[in-house]
Structure 1
Amino acid sequence: MVLLIESLEHIDHRLLLLINGFHSPLADTLMTAISGTIIWIPLYLLFAALLIKKERSRVWVPLLFVVLLITLSDQISVHLLKDTVQRYRPCHNLELRDTLHLLEGACKGKYGFVSSHAANTFVLATFLLLLFRKRWTILLLFWALLVSYSRVYLGVHYPSDVAVGALLGMLLAFIVFRFYRQSEDFFHIIQFKKNLKG
């Protein structure tokens, strides 16, 4: 068992060094932007517009669930996992830090398991994919993968940090989406009763 864990950790470190090693000034700029928030504001506004178009007057229901999902994902990834597991980020790992290509200001929090960026982007991407069920929504997973990749590239997460974060996000999205579907049935019943009275 110990050998298996050591073997997986070795693979984790090798993948990190491989991804982080393919760096250039242009990639540094792109990955820093992708890892941030500002560049994605137009995308978030597009999500909101599509929800409004789809749900009309009931748009507040899926928006409420999105807020709930992001809150759950963030709280679980930070307070339940990061603060409990306390696995140092690669950029804080004394054995690895000097071998990594690190950008100034990229390494912030002390602990990195799991990646909140991965959990939050995958929870949103998966929920919207389940909600819209259109071919184009597969691009949302590409967006989540890109953000997750940027975290490894920047040396602030191990590949396993983002992999488990992604799984956490998808799992939460599937669970909460079931409750969302039940809430839809509830609101349909209320609307049906209102129509009968009208």
Structure 2
Amino acid sequence: MADIQQFDVELFVKIHRGLSNGFFDWLMPLLRNRFFWSPLYLFIVVFCIRNYKKQGYYMIAMILTTFAIGDFIASRLIKPFIGRIRPCNDVNLADEIIRRVPCGSGFSFPSSHATNHFAIAVFLICLFYKDWKPILPLGLFWAFIISFAQVYVGVHYPIDTMFGALLGTCIGFFTFYLYTKIKPAI
């Protein structure tokens, strides 16, 4: 376990400091900001309602359910149980941290951003892949870049985002399964 944690810290420093550049310093804080993605979220809502009418409202409800389940499991169940300190709050890394965003006082493992975005991405991929194949690489890239930004800005270790991605993927598949079993015939 100590070897895994050491690897995680070393990989964190390679990403956080080793990839440091002005463009990423500008871009990565934006990518993890919920308001930056508001146009995409609005597009998804309008797209679902416009193209799927009443069924679109159910799709949106399931997307929100997917988010809620992911956020609850990551933030309310796992994070307090594990209690891992964020790298930006770790006194052992104080000399390594570049303050790109406010650190926050919450715990680090797993990344809620990674959990939530992978859950939504996987749900949307399952929902629309049959009709629009490009959603697979686009959805996964979207979730990955948000997760990567968490490490780059210094608020999560790589394993936090990897586990969040795995957890979110499972939640996305689960909520899509629920969607297929209980969706109303509209």
Matches within 5 A, 1:84-123: 84-103=81-100, 105-123=101-119
Structure-1 separation of matches of 2:105 and 2:125: 30
Give 1:52's match in structure 2, choosing from 49, 53, 66: 49
Q: Which runs of 5+ in 1 are unaligned?
A: 192-198
Equivalence for 1:132:
128
Alignment of 1:2-17 (within 5 A): 5-17=1-13
What TM-score does the superposition give when structure 2 sets the normalisation length? 0.93
Which deviations, in whole Å up to 9, do the C-alpha atoms of 1:127-177 show, x marking residues without a partner? Answer: 000000122212011011000000000110000000111111110111111
- Measured in 2, the distance between the counterparts of 1:110 and 1:166 equals 19
Q: What corresponds to 1:194 in structure 2?
A: none
The one-letter code of the counterpart of 1:123 is A
The residue aligned with 1:169 is 168
CA RMSD of aligned residues (A): 1.3
Which letter maps to 1:10? Q
Q: In the alignment, which residue of structure 1 is the partner of 2:76?
A: 79
Higher helix share: 1
Contact 1:106–1:154 (CA under 8 A) maintained in structure 2: no
Return the letter of the residue paired with 2:135: T
> Any idea what the Cα deviations from partners look like across 1:52-105, whole Å, max 9, x if unmatched?
2442222111111111111111111111011111000001111112212222x4
Based on CA coordinates, which of the two structures has the bigger radius of gyration?
1
Structure 2, unaligned stretches of length 5 or more? none
Q: Distance in 2 between matches of 1:126 and 1:106?
A: 29
Q: What is the identity percentage for the equivalent residue pairs of Structure 1 and Structure 2?
A: 31
Matched position secondary structure for 1:135: coil
Runs of 4+ in 1 over 4 A off after TM superposition: none
